[in-house]
């Protein structure tokens, strides 16, 4: 019997991801002013016939002058590609795009639990449980090695990041910012990935593209499929996983023409949390990441559990590892820590949990210190996935960087 698993991703211009990007741009702007800023900002977008709407709501407390929230929202949307009302939004126009700002200061009842000077004084910004995950699925071939990530999620994310690169460069002028991908991988009886089985891509395109084919929509769609196959799918997915052929679906409804984006679908911050993490391969605590400063353990502790789980797998102690941590608001020490290896561990889960708790410090202030989270680095995470991506020289995705001393400590 063939075992299949599917994950999806969405491009930076998907309405929900547009909202994540705006919210994270505000986080970065606030941390630029004050590294200790407290930020929890949500965004909603909707395109309508006569104009588009961006709504900002949340709480911000910082020491310094507040950033210009409206300008940040507009600039972020334009950078992603929404500069034309005909495609779904023109964020550069005050007439064609209205921005409503509804941001107050952080609740004093929350602030008193997360402010402090020592690692034990700084409590979690909220209660909740968080999960981190790692596995060896991407380690079968060189191009993806070092990611320790579920293969369907890694590949679907790469397709959408490729779409984002095309929009940013303008190399294919008819592709718009809004897009989605889905990748199905076939596994053997031992749970090892064998090949890509099916790829699904939906991409918004220029409504006038059909005119290049004398209005022949079938010819237009044949052309779109050919370009997406060669310039997106087979550009993003290593040949190793495509060697046996695959099924490809492009724009399953027939056309995905202008106007799309926020006009076709309203967007809200935090609605793509499974896309942001492991594509459904691992559990999720439920809290979104975007729009939150690192005192919010929904974000920081999820990054840290991923970091710890990746070290467990990279250290050779398991081929699959999921770590759960849980907190109570205002308290630094987690209320629970659980390590699960799904029968793939080389030592008992009790012993592994003890080693993880000894090597990694799950107190919120320690997490922020070790991963250097009080910096404006979150816009890079708002599309394309928060995990399974190489760390950069600019300090992005620090939770993906392996620390040899910790690998050694886990094995001792």
298 is catalytic: yes
Among this protein's residues, is 188 annotated catalytic? no
Catalytic residue selected from 85, 161, 272, 389:
272
pLDDT of residue 283: 95
Asked whether the predicted pLDDT for residue 331 surpasses 70, the reply is: yes
Asked if pLDDT for residue 126 goes beyond 90, the answer is: no
Of residues 120 and 366, which shows the higher confidence score?
A: 366
CATH 3.30.300.10 residue ranges in the chain?
Answer: 3-10+150-260, 15-114
Residue 111: pLDDT band with limits 50, 70, 90 = low
Q: Look up 226 and say whether it is catalytic.
A: no
Tell me what percent of the residues of the chain surpass a pLDDT of 70: 96
Q: Which of 296, 311, 363, 374 is catalytic?
A: 296
Whether residue 106 has pLDDT greater than 90: no
Instruction: Catalytic residue, from 17, 161, 197, 210: name it.
Output: 17
Q: How confident is the model at residue 2 (pLDDT cuts 50, 70, 90)?
A: confident
Q: Any catalytic annotation for residue 296?
A: yes
pLDDT above 90 coverage of the chain, percent? 92
Residue 36 in this model has a pLDDT that exceeds 80:
yes
Average pLDDT, the chain: 95
Has 180 been annotated as catalytic? yes
Query: Between 123 and 310, where is the model more confident?
Result: 310
Task: Compute the average pLDDT of residues 271-294.
Answer: 95
- 131 as an active site residue: the answer is no
CA-based nearest residue to 290, from 34, 36, 56: 56
342 assigned to active site: no
Annotated catalytic residue: which of 57, 66, 264, 266?
Answer: 266
Catalytic status, residue 42: yes
Mean pLDDT value of segment 235-260: 95
Fold of 15-114: GMP Synthetase; Chain A, domain 3 (3.30.300)
What architecture (CATH level 2) is domain 3-10+150-260?
2-Layer Sandwich (3.30)
- Candidate list 28, 42, 137, 276, residue with the active-site label: 42
Q: Is 59 a catalytic residue?
A: yes
Q: Which of 46, 271, 320, 355 is catalytic?
A: 271
Q: Is the pLDDT of residue 159 over 70?
A: yes
Out of 5, 131, 149, 256, pick the active-site residue.
256
At residue 120 the predicted structure's pLDDT band, cuts being 50, 70 and 90, is: low
Q: Give the separation between CA 93 and CA 95, rounded to whole angstroms.
A: 5
Active-site residue identified among 28, 126, 298, 322: 298
């Amino acid at each position: 019997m063939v075992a299949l698993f599917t994950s999806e991703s969405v491009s930076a211009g998907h309405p929900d991801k547009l909202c994540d990007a705006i919210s994270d741009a505000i986080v970065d702007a606030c941390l630029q002013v004050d590294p200790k800023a407290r930020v929890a900002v949500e965004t909603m977008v909707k395109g309508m016939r006569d104009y588009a709407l961006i709504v900002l709501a949340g709480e911000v407390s910082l020491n310094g002058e507040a950033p210009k929230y409206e300008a940040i929202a507009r600039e972020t949307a334009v950078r992603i590609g929404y500069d034309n009302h005909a495609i779904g939004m023109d964020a550069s126009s005050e007439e064609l795009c209205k921005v409503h700002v509804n941001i107050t200061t952080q609740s004093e009842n929350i602030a008193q639990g997360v402010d402090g000077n020592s690692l034990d004084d700084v409590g979690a910004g909220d209660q909740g449980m968080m999960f981190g995950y790692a596995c060896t699925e991407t380690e079968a071939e060189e191009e993806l090695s070092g990611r320790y990530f579920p293969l369907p999620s890694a590949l679907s994310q790469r397709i959408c990041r490729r779409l984002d690169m095309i929009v940013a460069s303008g190399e294919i002028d008819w592709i718009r910012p809004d897009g989605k991908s889905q990748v199905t991988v076939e596994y053997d009886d031992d749970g090892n990935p064998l090949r890509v089985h099916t790829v699904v891509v939906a991409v918004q395109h220029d409504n006038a593209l059909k005119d290049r084919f004398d209005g022949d929509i079938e010819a237009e769609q044949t052309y779109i499929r050919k370009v997406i196959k060669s310039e997106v799918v087979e550009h993003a997915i290593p040949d190793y996983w495509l060697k046996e052929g695959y099924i490809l679906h492009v724009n399953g409804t027939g056309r995905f023409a202008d106007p799309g984006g926020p006009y076709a679908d309203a967007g809200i911050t935090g609605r793509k949390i499974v896309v942001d993490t492991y594509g459904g391969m691992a559990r999720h605590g439920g809290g979104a990441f975007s729009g939150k400063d690192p005192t919010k353990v929904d974000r920081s502790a999820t990054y840290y559990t991923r970091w710890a789980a990746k070290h467990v797998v990279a250290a050779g102690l398991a081929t699959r590892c999921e770590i759960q941590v849980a907190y109570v608001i205002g308290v630094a020490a987690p209320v629970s820590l659980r390590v699960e290896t799904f029968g793939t561990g080389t030592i008992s889960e009790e012993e592994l949990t003890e080693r993880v708790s000894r090597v990694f410090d799950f107190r919120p202030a320690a997490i922020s210190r070790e991963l250097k989270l009080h910096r404006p680095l979150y816009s890079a995470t708002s599309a394309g996935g928060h995990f399974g991506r190489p760390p950069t020289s600019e300090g992005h995705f620090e939770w993906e960087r392996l620390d040899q001393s910790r690998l050694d400590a886990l094995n001792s």
